[in-house]
């Protein structure tokens, strides 16, 4: 996994897209499909719990492997 991506706390969209190496539209499609968690609003900024993103990646890896 990418060492720059946080192991705890929150991540913003650019960090997630870099970590997953996907486009924003692909990531948002994954949210609608239930593959990734929905964002949490902090003021007007969307953030995702880093642990939930890592768990979603692990779950997807298990399906593929």
Phi, psi dihedrals of residue 17, rounded to the nearest 5°:
-60, -40
pLDDT of residue 10: 97
Q: 24 near 13, Cβ under 8 Å?
A: yes
pLDDT of residue 64: 72
User: CA torsion angle for 5, 11, 14, 20 (degrees, to 10)?
Assistant: 50
In the chain, where are the structural domains located?
Answer: 10-64
Q: What pLDDT is attached to residue 3? A: 57
pLDDT in tens, the chain (65 residues): 445 888 999 999 999 999 999 999 999 999 999 999 999 999 999 999 999 999 999 999 887 76
The tokens describing 10, both together, are 């929150």
In this prediction the pTM is 0.86
């Amino acid at each position: 996994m990418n060492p720059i991506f946080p192991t705890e706390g929150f991540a913003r969209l650019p960090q997630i897209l870099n970590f997953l190496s996907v486009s924003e539209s692909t990531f948002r499609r994954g949210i609608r499909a239930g593959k990734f968690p929905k964002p949490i609003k902090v003021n007007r900024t969307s953030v995702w719990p880093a642990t939930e993103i890592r768990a979603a990646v692990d779950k997807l890896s298990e399906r593929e492997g």
